[in-house]
Structure 1
Amino acid sequence: MLNHLENLAQRVGGSNELIDHWLHARKQLIVAYYALVGLKPNKEKHTPLNEKALENFCHNLIDYLSAGHFHIYDRIVEMVEGKDSPHLTITQKIYPALHDNTKVIMAFHDRFTTDEIDEDACLALHDALSHIGETLAARFALEDNLIQVAFEVWQHNQPSDNNEHEVLNQPA
């Protein structure tokens, strides 16, 4: 996931401040996930699970989901599409899938942040971590579709003069 994110950031990074912040938040979430599952980025070494890592991951998870649903998705549609855009169909397909994905992620969050982690819950958590990783990967793929559409529209509308970076990074 981290390598994919780095590749995406290299392709679209700097095109829009909103996207840059979103990708940075995604990186923080992935690093928190790796810490929770005991993986160090770019290493094969595992570390034991701890509740602090779970708390940090869940905090990053909620922040990431909230930013997407309550801030980023709408701003991308507003900035890129407008009401009569041919790209509106893409978001109408992506949003329901993101909503369903959010339900799965929130079920994980609710399950593992309400109770203490005893031995049985720890075993269930280990099983759930694999599933939540797959769920996050699916979410990132959906969001990447939004980012790609936005990037293509911004590239197409990019001014030809030297003020292009200024125009693309104006707040909505």
Structure 2
Amino acid sequence: MLESCKTAQERWGGVHVIIDRWLEQRRQLIEMWVYLRDRGEFTPTDTPKILSVCEMLVDYVSAGHFTVYEQLALEAKEFDDDGASELLRNLLPLIDSSTEVAIEFNDKYDTKEHCNAQLEALPFSLQALTLVMVDRFQYEDQLIKELHEAHSEKSA
């Protein structure tokens, strides 16, 4: 996708747009979590919001793995940045473990039937997912800061 860009600024500016969109997805996901967290008790009328969170969560996690991390790895390789490559090797396994938790949450609440059958457990599931995702967001922010921002300065 971005490989056809002619200049470094064109290419890595495109990565910046991808990251911005992805971080906007994160913001929307967090807003939905806060909404659900503040609900307290859940009823079947909450199911559409819960299903929406599942969809947003899977979209966010997928965009990270199949777009953002991939582009950050390409940047590290292109800039011959061994430190960035090492950071990726260290943080991606930690991020992967949160992906498993996110997928388990999605599998538990991804349909109306699944969701309605487990509404009582939802506050606990949301809390567990939130704890894991907070760590993930910190790892992702570290990747962006130490990889993309450093390379953006070099390409400017």
After TM superposition, is the score higher than 0.5? yes
Question: Counterpart amino acid of 1:152?
Answer: A
Paired with 2:78 and 2:89, the residues of 1 have a C-alpha distance of 13
Give the TM-score of the pair, scaled to structure 2: 0.77
Question: Residues of 1 paired with 2:47 and 2:107: CA distance?
Answer: 15
Q: Which amino acid aligns with 2:134?
A: A
Structure 2 partner of 1:9: none
Does structure 2 retain, via aligned residues, the 8 Å contact 1:32–1:60?
A: no
Instruction: Give yes or no for the alignment of 1:109 onto 2:106.
Output: yes
Q: Shift in Å at residue 26 of structure 1?
A: 0.9
The 8 Å contact of residues 36 and 57 in structure 1, kept in 2 or not, is answered as: no
**Identity value in percent:** 26
> Aligned equivalents of 1:31 and 1:101: distance in 2?
19
- Which stretches of structure 1, 4 residues or longer, exceed 6 Å deviation after superposition? none
Is this contact kept in 1: 2:102–2:129, CA < 8 A? yes
Residue 70 of structure 1 corresponds to 66
Q: Which amino acid letter does the alignment assign opposite residue 66 of structure 1?
A: S
The equivalent residue for 1:164 is: none
Relative distance call for 1:138 and 1:34 in structure 2 (3 A) is same
* Aligned residues between the structures: 135
Task: Output the CA distance in 1 between the equivalents of 2:102 and 2:25.
Answer: 16
Superposed displacement of residue 83, structure 1: 8.0
In the alignment, which residue of structure 1 is the partner of 2:94? Answer: 97
Q: Give the equivalent residue in structure 1 for 2:54.
A: 58
Within-5 A mapping of 1:21-170: 21-38=21-38, 46=39, 49=42, 50-82=46-78, 84-86=80-82, 87-114=84-111, 115-118=114-117, 121-149=118-146, 150-155=148-153, 157-159=154-156
Per-residue deviation at 1:82? 3.2
Counting helix residues as a fraction of each chain, which structure ranks higher?
Answer: 2
> How far 1:117 moved relative to its partner?
1.6
2-structure distance, mates of 1:116, 1:93: 35
Counterpart amino acid of residue 21 in structure 1: R
Supply the distance in 2 between the matched residues of 1:116 and 1:135 (Cα, whole angstroms).
Answer: 21
SS in 2 for 1:117: helix
CA distance in 2, matches of 1:127, 1:135: 13
Query: SS of the residue aligned with 1:137?
Result: helix
User: Distance in 2 between the 1:80 and 1:18 partners?
Assistant: 16
The answer to which of 16-25 and 63-72 deviates more is 16-25
Shift of 1:153: 2.5
**Alpha-carbon distance change, 128 to 116 in structure 1, aligned in 2, over 3 angstroms:** closer
Report the TM-score when normalising by structure 1. 0.71
How far the C-alpha of 1:97 sits from its partner, in A, is: 1.0
For structure 2, the residue ranges without an aligned partner over 5 or more in a row are 1-14
